């Protein structure tokens, strides 16, 4: 009976008795082929940035092969790195991003600890609310925030618009929800026995947080820090709306508004500026890739 069934099933579908290893080798070759194609697509803009940044204005406007540098020069870099304006942008961006990272951590780590471990009235609702806040985009809030800042200025006389430090209040709205969310995930994955042991030994809640949770969840903390830094460094809409004077601008806005003068595009300098602006996140990424990716995937998988 069983042999009959096998005989019946046998010829009904074509089985290719090819070499499995040969199939594997071909699949591998195709994989590499397509990966190279996609890598070209993904890496063309940054590489083209680098190519253009090494060219002089004369070479850029000459109708030569745009993909090759015939007379490499560092003049664009020298010019930008000695320009007070550009250094000012860089300085503003660095201060803002670093301060925002600090503020974000000070707000989100304690909150995540409380939400992950200390069940209290409304804690689950609050955790869900934090996650929902993360889904509210900047492009929904920039107009009311602009008006609010103007009103604060009218009523209290504190100048907030057109000052770089206003970004220190605004950026955390982008970074804190996500950082809190992934820290809740990391804290929740710490075994309960650890903090029970600490509590039995007489540690206060704050001691539990600083002595046990922060050291154990350090990878998550690093991932959150990287996230907060890259988000603040890349933010474009808020500084574009809230700051206008040249000495108050951060890098992305500074490059797009001051290096493009009317219809005159000084592409060599723009590309150099863009590359220098992209450098800090790229360097962090190069050295801490695993943390970067952990933070990226944690948002959707750790929850």
Partner 1 sequence: MADVVVEQGQAVRAARARKPASLRNVLGRKSTVAFFLTLPLILLIALLVLYPAVYSVHLATLNKSMQKFVGFGNFLFLFKRDTFWMVVKQSCIFAVTAVFFKALIGFIVAHFVHNIPAKGQRKWRGMLLVPWVIPPAMSTLAWLWLFDPSYSAFNYTLSFFGIGPINWLGDNVWARFSVILVNIWYGAPFFMIMYLAALKSVPDQLYEAAAIDGANWWQKIWYVTLPMMRNIIAITALFSLIVTFANFDIVRILTSGGPLDQTHIFATWAFKVGIEGSDIPLGASVSLFMVPILAVAAIFILRDVSKRGNEA
Going 19 to 24 to 30 to 32, the CA torsion angle's sign is: negative
Would you say how long the chain is, in residues? 303
- Smallest distance, Å, CB 288 to partner 1? 11
Q: Which residues of 58-85 are buried (b: 16+ CB within 10 A; e: fewer)?
A: ebeeeeeeeeebeeebeebbeebeeeee
Q: Between residues 68 and 84, which has the closer beta carbon with respect to partner 1?
A: 68
Q: Between residues 73 and 123, which has the closer beta carbon with respect to partner 1?
A: 123
Q: Between residues 72 and 137, which has the closer beta carbon with respect to partner 1?
A: 137
Residue 6 pairs in a beta bridge with none
- Smallest distance, Å, CB 63 to partner 1? 8
Is residue 221 within 8 A of residue 109, CB to CB? The reply is yes
Q: Between residues 136 and 246, which has the closer beta carbon with respect to partner 1?
A: 136
DSSP E strand stretches across 93-249: none
- Smallest distance, Å, CB 115 to partner 1? 7
Spatial separation of the C-alpha atoms in residues 110 and 101, rounded to whole Å = 14
Q: Between residues 72 and 303, which has the closer beta carbon with respect to partner 1?
A: 303
Q: Between residues 3 and 192, which has the closer beta carbon with respect to partner 1?
A: 192
**211-216 long-range Cβ contacts below 8 angstroms, 24+ apart:** 213/113, 213/117, 213/187, 214/109, 216/190
- Smallest distance, Å, CB 210 to partner 1? 12
- Smallest distance, Å, CB 297 to partner 1? 5
- Smallest distance, Å, CB 4 to partner 1? 19
Does an H or E element contain 265, and which? strand 264-265
């Amino acid at each position: 009976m069983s042999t009959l069934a096998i005989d019946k099933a046998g010829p009904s579908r074509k089985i290719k008795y090819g070499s499995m290893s040969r199939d594997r080798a071909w699949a591998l070759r195709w994989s590499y082929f397509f990966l190279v194609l996609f890598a070209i697509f993904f890496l063309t803009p940054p590489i083209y940035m680098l190519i253009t940044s090494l060219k002089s204005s004369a070479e850029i406007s000459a109708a030569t092969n745009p993909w090759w540098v015939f007379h490499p020069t560092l003049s664009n870099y020298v010019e930008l790195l000695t320009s007070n304006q550009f250094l000012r942008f860089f300085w503003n961006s660095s201060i803002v991003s670093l301060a925002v990272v600090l503020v974000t951590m000070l707000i989100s780590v304690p909150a995540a600890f409380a939400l992950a471990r200390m069940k209290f009235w409304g804690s689950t609702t609050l955790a869900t609310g934090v996650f929902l806040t993360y889904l509210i985009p900047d492009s929904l809030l920039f107009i009311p925030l602009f008006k609010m800042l103007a009103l604060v200025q009218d009523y209290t006389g504190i100048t907030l618009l057109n000052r770089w430090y206003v970004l220190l209040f605004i950026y955390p709205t982008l970074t804190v929800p996500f950082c809190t969310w992934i820290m809740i995930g990391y804290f929740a994955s710490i075994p309960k026995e650890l903090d029970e042991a600490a509590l039995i030994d007489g540690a206060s809640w704050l001691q539990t947080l600083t002595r046990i949770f922060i050291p154990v969840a350090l990878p998550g903390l690093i991932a959150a820090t990287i996230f907060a830094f890259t988000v603040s460094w890349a933010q474009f809409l808020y500084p574009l709306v809230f700051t206008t004077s040249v000495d108050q601008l951060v890098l992305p806005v500074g490059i797009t508004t001051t290096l493009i003068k009317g219809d005159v595009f000084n592409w060599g300098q723009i590309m150099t500026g863009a590359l220098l602006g992209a450098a800090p996140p790229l360097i962090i990424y190069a050295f801490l890739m695993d943390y970067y990716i952990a933070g990226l995937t944690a948002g959707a998988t750790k929850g």
